[in-house]
């Protein structure tokens, strides 16, 4: 299959082309489609449009104008190019499927009423539907809400991109009304939907005002997963993300959540100097102990380095429990139930990585058995350390 992507250098185009390239180069084997060629069309490639339209088997039309100097450019850049594209396909009698990226503003409802941008997008939609009726080609018209994700241009037409960029670069943001709600679509969800088209698994819908309603025979297509989030919530999450290198606390980012996708977006804007941050190492003559990561509800991760011959631990907990995972070196872990003389032992090594439970009510230690090498242990505790309630009591094994 030969794919034509117009607007290939734009936000959506870059992400789509990267995913198509992964399929073409057999790096992504999750898709049941073979891609032989990807034609990337953008401004400056006008002389290639004929060749691309003659050869392609599918078109993703992402080209368009978002922020022109003059409002009249909306119609020229959106409707005008769509017309040129379809005329060129007809010129070569190419009846391949064509996807159109439209906008929710094409509804011309509510705050979108009278929008020149919306009018140009609606005209493009009608052009595509007429083309499908007259030419017998399949068209897939998507009305996108606000988009966000990696590679989106800040200070352009995405509040999320601007907020993420400014937070990452310690710049101020302006929020006039924190209660304003946006409908947001994540770039990876959008790209997955576009790849679904190639497998005949696209989602169809009708519209009730500005809301997409899933419908098998719907005239339009849509991405089922979007998020309605207030500006205040976005700022609240970004505050947590920015503070993570200092607090070490990883906010809750459940699978499929807006928070998880926003965090990935925020990180994509970090400058080089913020891609690395120091951790506080507690160092003494026995080695070191460093907290790595804390979570809001699932404890914390640390790394312990013991010098040759050193014993660490020798304490117990009422309720707290831990995993000790030796990743380098050779050691011995001992545990003894409080009030008992029986000691259970586990010989551990980085050559055979295993997780050992530090049981509640058992005093425990870890001994470096090597005379020359450090013992490196990754530790997870079921709760973050609270100096006011440490639940840690000294007692030798």
Give the residue numbers annotated as catalytic, written as ranges: 117
230 and 179 in contact (C-beta within 8 Å)? Answer: yes
The total of other beta-carbon atoms located within 10 Å of residue 187's CB is 22
Q: Measure CA of the first residue to CA of the last residue in the chain; give whole Å.
A: 67
User: 237 Cβ partners below 8 Å, 6+ apart?
Assistant: 251, 259, 262, 263
Distance between CA atoms of residues 303 and 325, nearest Å = 9
Query: Cβ contacts of residue 290 below 8 Å, gap of 6+?
Result: 279, 280, 281, 282, 302, 303, 304
* Distance from chain centroid for Cα 42: 26
* DSSP helix/strand/coil, 16: helix
Non-local CB neighbours of 197 within 8 Å, separated by 6+ positions: 58, 97, 99, 140, 221
Give the DSSP per-residue string, 206-266: EEETTEEEE-TT-SEE--S--EEEEHHHHHHHHHHHHHHHHH-EE----TT-HHHHHHHHH
3-state percent breakdown (helix, strand, coil) of the chain, nearest 5: 30, 30, 40
């Amino acid at each position: 299959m030969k794919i034509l992507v117009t607007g290939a250098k734009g936000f959506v185009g870059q992400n789509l082309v990267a995913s198509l390239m992964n399929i073409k180069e057999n790096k992504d084997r999750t898709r049941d489609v073979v891609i032989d060629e990807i034609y990337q069309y953008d401004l400056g490639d006008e002389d290639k449009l004929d060749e691309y339209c003659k050869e392609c088997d599918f078109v993703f039309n992402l080209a368009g104008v978002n922020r022109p100097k003059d409002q009249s450019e909306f119609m020229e850049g959106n409707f005008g190019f769509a017309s040129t594209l379809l005329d060129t396909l007809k010129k070569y009698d190419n009846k391949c499927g064509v996807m159109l990226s439209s906008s929710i503003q094409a509804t011309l409802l509510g705050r979108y009423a009278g929008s020149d941008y919306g009018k140009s997008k609606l005209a493009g939609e009608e052009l595509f539907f007429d083309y499908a009726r007259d030419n017998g080609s399949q068209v897939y018209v998507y009305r996108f809400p606000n988009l966000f994700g990696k590679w989106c241009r800040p200070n352009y037409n995405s509040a999320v991109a601007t907020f993420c960029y400014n937070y990452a670069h310690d710049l101020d943001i302006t929020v006039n009304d924190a209660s304003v709600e946006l409908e947001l679509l994540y770039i990876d969800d959008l790209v997955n939907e576009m790849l679904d088209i190639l497998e005949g698994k696209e989602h169809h819908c009708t519209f009730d005002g500005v809301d997409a309603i899933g419908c098998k025979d719907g005239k339009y297509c849509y991405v089922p997963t979007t998020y309605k989030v207030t500006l205040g919530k976005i700022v609240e999450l970004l505050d947590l993300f920015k503070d993570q290198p200092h607090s070490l606390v990883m906010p809750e980012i459940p699978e499929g959540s807006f928070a998880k996708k926003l965090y990935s977006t925020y990180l994509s804007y970090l400058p080089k100097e913020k891609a690395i941050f120091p951790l506080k190492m507690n160092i003494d003559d026995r080695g070191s102990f460093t907290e790595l990561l804390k979570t809001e509800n699932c404890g914390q991760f640390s790394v312990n380095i013991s010098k040759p011959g050193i014993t660490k631990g020798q304490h117990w907990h009422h309720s707290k429990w831990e995993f000790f995972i030796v990743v380098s070196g050779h050691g011995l872990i001992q545990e003894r139930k409080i009030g008992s003389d029986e000691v259970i032992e586990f010989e551990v090594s980085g050559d055979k990585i295993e997780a050992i439970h530090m049981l509640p009510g058992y005093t425990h230690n870890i001994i470096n058995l090597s005379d020359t090498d450090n013992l490196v242990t990754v530790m997870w505790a079921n709760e973050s350390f609270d100096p006011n309630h440490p639940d840690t009591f000294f007692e030798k094994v």
